[in-house]
Amino acid sequence: MNDAMIALRDVHKYYGDYHALRGISADIRPGEFFSLLGPSGCGKTTLLRVIAGFEDVNSGSLMIDGRHMEEVAPNKRPTNMVFQSYAIFPHLSVAQNVGFGLRRLPIDEAEKTRRIGEALEMVGLAGFGERAATALSGGQRQRVALARALILKPKVLLLDEPLSALDKKLRENMQVELIKLQRQVGITFILVTHDQEEALVMSDRIAVMFDGGIAQLDDPETLYRRPKTRAVADFIGVMNFLPATVTGEGDGYQIEMPGLGRASLTADQAPGAASGGPASVGLRPETLTVLFEGQRGEREVEALVEEVVYYGDMTYYDMRIEGVDDPITLSMRNVPGRDVLERGAKARLGWSPGALVLFR
């Protein structure tokens, strides 16, 4: 028996000859904030629409809350969706939009009005009920769409890139609000996004998708620190890749890298867990540090500053290390009293073998 809210088993979807979903299997837990993350065309929206019931699957099974969903139409599923375009009904008022799902419930007008008021309050739009839906701003439409989808108290809320149409500031505010809202209502949220930062900020767990398949399904920290493949590592955040040779493996790995020398890694630093084949290691920019007078690193290497990108709170440097073909990107927090290095300056870098990830 399975206590997952949503259980996907080997789901395949074809559009003609195009294989959009290639054997998706995943369990999504009750009350979880789950994200489907991937570049456009990876199948994340298709998967969301399969869960909503707008797309049939060619093979495989989908269960929601313990019930098989293959023969259940979208209007009978315990899911509701927030569309990318918000799909606000332009000929109805805000209250009529929000209360649209109540039409078929056996409740009286007073109860409907109460529930609409409650839903509007939940999304911070109390008192907006009588406005025309078309007179709202982007952020307000987003809230109407949320209230409308939550009013039926679905078991699962599906969000199709709900923040992509908002500007950066508003998007960051809405991210926080969505997290709060999800904790408040306590239901499963499934978010589709191509924005890795958004997924990291909001999710309990993330499924990274490429080419119709799930490349890795983990919590944000594991995804970031222990990506299983180079593709996942590259998609989430910035990562430097260096060629490496595995010189010994047993309990962990002994590796040798040009420029950085030898290091030994623990078994969990190779989450992809393959053996043989050409190897490479990944290094996140923030695990490297520029060492100033008197500072010591766990391991040290000489480098030349090749490019400086100033971000205000952070500075990104491209560093040239002798023996390494590509420059290594490094990020430093800008602290008062410490100058930003200039191009062409020499620097000592500190790095730690524990921060490396081995890919094969």
Residues near other proteins (CB under 8 A): 52-54, 73-75, 79-81, 83-85, 87, 89-91, 100-101, 103-104, 134, 148-149, 152
Largest CA-CA distance found in the chain, in angstroms, rounded: 76
Nearest approach in angstroms of CB 173 to other proteins is: 24
Sheet containing 328-333, strands listed edge to edge, beginning at the edge strand earlier in sequence? 289-291, 346-351, 299-310, 314-321, 328-333
Residue among 149 and 244 whose Cβ is closer to other proteins:
149
Nearest approach in angstroms of CB 88 to other proteins is: 8
Beta bridge partners of 12: 22, 59
Residue among 104 and 346 whose Cβ is closer to other proteins:
104
Q: Which amino acid is at 291?
A: L
Asked whether the beta carbons of 334 and 328 are under 8 A apart, the reply is no
Half-sphere exposure of 295 (CA within 13 A, CB side): 13
Nearest approach in angstroms of CB 282 to other proteins is: 39
Nearest approach in angstroms of CB 102 to other proteins is: 9
Q: 91 by DSSP, 3-state: which?
A: coil
Reported as type and span, the H/E element at residue 79 is: strand 79-82
Residue among 16 and 277 whose Cβ is closer to other proteins:
16
Q: Other CB atoms closer than 10 Å to residue 106's CB: what's the count?
A: 5
DSSP letters spanning 326-351: S-EEEEEE--TT-PPPPTT-EEEEEE
Residue among 7 and 48 whose Cβ is closer to other proteins:
48
Q: In the chain, where does DSSP find H-type helix?
A: 44-52, 94-98, 109-122, 138-150, 168-185, 196-202, 220-225, 230-235
Residue among 74 and 139 whose Cβ is closer to other proteins:
74
Residue among 97 and 216 whose Cβ is closer to other proteins:
97
Nearest approach in angstroms of CB 155 to other proteins is: 14
Nearest approach in angstroms of CB 89 to other proteins is: 6
What is the rounded CA–CA span in Å between residue 146 and residue 180? 13
